[in-house]
């Protein structure tokens, strides 16, 4: 991280960026106030001035990762309008992100966002709108949209989680299985669209 920051010039963003750097290098166990304070060359109380301990640190890091992830997904889908292609690119982008940043992915997936928290609600809404736009599901009712989003998320995130935990041990390429799953999701989404009243 270069020269240690002075405690009086430390910002919440400095703390979050240092935490993400520790996460990337050392994994989830590095996501703690004491470890991040060492990274920044400050005493732990300097971090408590900006974030509410380990819980606040984990929340701030998870939200930052979610924001970055959503921006990355949007950048990968620019100028693409065909829903099936968008689903595939979004699913591949998510899987690639999880493979490249396994600790970031774990932190963002483990954090339970609350619709009652304004900052978290904004990320939830951005995710929902992005999902709706990327799959061109504008005509779905809100309930059907939520059903589709839950189904897609459970399939994609569940697959990635099992893959990261090395639980897919049968003699079949996970890449092929992932593609088969995406084909099935497309059929399921089309079924929901046709039956949405």
The per-residue pLDDT for range 7-42, each reduced to its tens digit, is: 568 899 999 999 999 999 999 999 999 999 999 999
In this structure, what DSSP letter does residue 5 have? Answer: P
The whole-angstrom separation of Cα 5 and Cα 39 is 10
Is this structure's pTM higher than 0.95? no
Cα Rg of the chain (Å, integer): 19
The whole-angstrom separation of Cα 63 and Cα 22 is 16
pLDDT at residue 172, rounded to an integer: 94
pLDDT at residue 66, rounded to an integer: 95
Reported as a pLDDT band with limits 50, 70 and 90, residue 6 is low
Reported as a pLDDT band with limits 50, 70 and 90, residue 166 is very high
The whole-angstrom separation of Cα 127 and Cα 132 is 8
Q: What is the mean pLDDT of residues 105-109?
A: 94
Q: Is-contact 36 18, C-beta < 8 A?
A: yes
Q: Which helix (H) or strand (E) holds 8?
A: none
Among the listed residues 20, 6, 88, the one whose alpha carbon sits nearest the alpha carbon of residue 49: 6
Joined together, the tokens standing for residue 28 give 């989830």
Q: Is-contact 193 159, C-beta < 8 A?
A: no
Q: Is-contact 60 12, C-beta < 8 A?
A: yes
């Amino acid at each position: 991280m270069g020269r240690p920051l002075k405690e009086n010039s430390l910002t919440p963003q400095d703390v979050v960026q240092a935490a993400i750097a520790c996460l990337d290098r050392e994994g989830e166990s590095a996501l703690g106030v004491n470890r991040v304070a060492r990274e920044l060359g400050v005493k732990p109380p300097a971090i408590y001035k900006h974030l509410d301990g380990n819980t606040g640190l984990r929340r701030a890091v998870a939200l930052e990762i979610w924001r970055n992830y959503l921006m990355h997904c949007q950048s990968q889908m620019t100028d693409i309008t065909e829903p099936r292609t968008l689903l595939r690119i979004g699913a591949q982008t998510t899987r690639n992100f999880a493979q490249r940043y396994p600790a970031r992915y774990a932190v963002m997936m483990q954090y339970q966002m609350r619709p009652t928290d304004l900052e978290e609600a904004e990320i939830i809404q951005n995710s929902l709108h992005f999902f709706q736009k990327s799959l061109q599901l504008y005509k779905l009712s809100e309930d059907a949209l939520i059903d589709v989003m839950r189904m897609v998320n459970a399939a994609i995130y569940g697959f990635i989680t099992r893959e990261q935990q090395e639980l897919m041990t049968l003699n079949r390429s996970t890449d092929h299985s992932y593609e088969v799953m995406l084909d099935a999701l497309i059929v399921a989404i089309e079924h929901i669209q046709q039956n949405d009243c």
